[in-house]
Amino acid sequence: MSAPPLSALAPARGFLSFVSASPTPFHAVASCVSQLESAGFSRLHERESWSSGKVQHGGKYYVTRNQSSLIAFTVPPRIDADSNKAKPLGISVVGCHTDSPRFIVKPVSKREKVGFTQVGVETYGGGLWATWMDRDLGIAGRVTLSGAKGASDYTSHLVQIDEPILRMPTLAIHLARDQNEKFHYNSETQQVPILSLANKELNRAFVEDHKSSAEVSFADPLDISSHHSPVLLHTVARKLSDELGEQVTPAQIHDFELSLFDVQPATIGGALNEFIFSSRIDNLFSSYAALEGLIRSSQSSAPSDGRVSMIALFDNEEVGSVSAYGAESNFIESVFERVAVALRGEGESEAEAYQRTMASSFLLSTDVGHSIHPSFVEKHEENHRPLINAGIAIKTNSKQRYATTSQTVFPLRRVAAEAGVPLQELLVRNDMACGSTSTSPESPAEHQTCRASPLQSRVDRSRRAVGPLVSKIGLRTVDIGAPILSMHSIREMGGVKDMAYLIDLFEKFFERFGALDTLAETVD
């Protein structure tokens, strides 16, 4: 047995830095934007026109929505005009998601009980909530401020408090002897993080200093100072002051979207340095690999395959993808159409250009998958047991919870063969449910074995997948993912080699899919 080679450790270490800087989808997108701009990508805005040469051959671009979803793409160099008339534009796209199960601070979070100041929080997604107990928790997210940096209007800023300011303590074993047999805490009443002791003198000083009422008030829509503990607002304001280099007061905070996160940094672990131990591996693992694959291919000296290379990173996959910036929104369709129109061939109508582009495009819908668990082998179909660091898993389901077919996976196999990336197979057992994450207020989260991917799944309110989203937008799709353990825990476990595999696969996909897909068409 030997440790992974340095060529595999470098991508894993890059991921550690990325995930530690990305405690929320807002931060993940900001991290992506920073790397894209460093690699020469230019920002596009949805409200602006993309015509009149805004999107050009040989260009590199990105666009965001809600600061939590991002689409980035590269345009190939101009090809011969005569062949451009006959050949439709094709887009090779990798789809992932930026969100993870977590606790989010409630709009009115002020709580004080038996001498403790607490923060009211809401669950997001289908997390293993018990794993959040006895962890050192920070707060991060997006804050709306007035008067920051001399602005006369309101501005949005990201904040990340890495200090362990919150904690959800477990109950002593002496007070509930059956905890080891029934390890469950009510997420509404028993998982309310402690912020501080309820120091009335300190709280009173904060209230008087910032002219905030001690009682919750909704009289002034722009004043949220009474909705939250003054200690919490003061802590957020102090962090913003440090980051902005100017004094920020709680009175300047008019709204926020704040999430809890584990302040323990991501790390490489295992006796042979084979594993990644981290929060939010689902699905920042795939998002980071997609970002790296796109940037590397954009800097490659390999000849272009004549296709647009694209990554699409969406928010809200963990709660159904139905938001205005989720995979079920018009975000990717809108970008596809605008790119197709901007690059359409001579004499080609806008509608025809869009339809031909959709028919010629291909999606790698990428989310993590379940690795075989040595203590729960019976949970996996015996011939379909993906293993960490043994290759990327192809996800298949005849009920169409995954969109993979033999015709969509065949060109991917060719890409993987050229990239030297091993592939595994993932198929759910017949006696297990597939395609959703189900939770209820009074029972632990039950994460089903088969996970639908961000661009492929529609999940109805009865918690079952009812059909692939790609059937609506018409993209040929294959579902894949790196196997991990402890999925939806506050600390998940992935593979060092799998990060290198995934980046290599994406880079080769962007460089070679056009040529390999043309060869695969002869199979019909």
CATH code of the domain covering residue 426 = 3.40.630.10
44 with 58, same domain: the answer is yes
Fill in the amino acid letter for 406: S
pLDDT in tens, 325-342: 999 899 999 999 999 999
Beta bridge partners of 483: 369
Regarding whether 333 and 230 lie in a shared domain, the answer is: no
Whether residues 188 and 295 fall in one domain: no
Whether residue 429 sits in one domain with residue 364: yes
> Are 191 and 286 members of one domain?
no
* Spatial CA neighbour of 438 closest among 450, 426, 429, 455: 450
Q: Which amino acid does the sequence have at 257?
A: E
Is 266 in contact with 16 (CB distance < 8 Å)? yes
The answer to whether residues 352 and 488 belong to one domain is: yes
What is the predicted pLDDT for the residue at 368? Answer: 96
Q: Are 226 and 216 in contact (CB under 8 A)?
A: yes
Considering the domain boundaries, does residue 147 fall inside one? yes
Residues 408 and 424 in one domain: yes
Q: Exposed, middle or buried, 384 (CB in 10 Å: 0-12/13-18/19+)?
A: middle
Question: Which of 217, 235, 262 is the endpoint of a domain?
Answer: 262
Please tell me the distance from the alpha carbon of residue 65 to that of residue 257, in angstroms, as a whole number.
16
> In the listed set 233, 262, 291, which residue is the last one of a domain according to the structure?
262
Clarify whether residues 399 and 494 are in a common domain: yes
Contact by Cβ (8 Å): 95, 326: no
The reply to whether 320 and 448 lie within a common domain is yes
Q: What is the pLDDT of residue 79?
A: 62
pLDDT at 455 over 60: no
Q: Has residue 239 got a pLDDT over 90?
A: yes
CATH of residue 203's domain is 2.30.250.10
Instruction: Name the average pLDDT for the chain.
Output: 87
Shared-domain flag, residues 365 and 243: no
Could you read off the pLDDT of 385-411 as tens digits, one per residue? 999 999 999 998 887 778 888 888 999
Q: What is the pLDDT of residues 58-68, one digit of tens each?
A: 999 999 999 99
C-alpha–C-alpha distance, residues 376 and 431, integer Å? 15
- The count of structural domains within the chain is 2
Extract the tokens encoding 469: 């989203």
Q: What is the pLDDT of residue 150?
A: 73
pLDDT digits over 249-288, tens only? 999 999 999 999 999 999 999 999 999 999 999 999 999 9
The distance in angstroms from the start CA to the end CA of the chain is 44
How confident is the model over 61-83, as a mean pLDDT? 87
Q: How would you write 7-25 as a 3-class SS string? A: HHHHHHHHHHHHHHCCCCH
Domain closes at, from 262, 296, 312: 262
**Do the domain assignments include residue 268?**
no
Q: Which of 227, 196, 202 is nearest to 212 (CA)?
A: 227
- What's the rounded mean pLDDT across residues 150-167? 92
Q: What is the mean pLDDT of residues 317-325?
A: 90
Residue 162's domain comprises 102-262
Q: Give the pLDDT band (50/70/90) at residue 324.
A: very high
Percentage of the chain modeled with pLDDT above 90 = 68
Classify residue 272: in a domain, yes or no. no
DSSP 8-state assignment for residue 187? T
Contact 287, 481 (CB under 8 A): no
On whether both 150 and 206 belong to a single domain, the answer is: yes
Q: How far apart are CA 123 and CA 237, in angstroms?
A: 24
pLDDT at residue 453, as a whole number: 55
> In terms of domains, do 144 and 201 share one?
yes
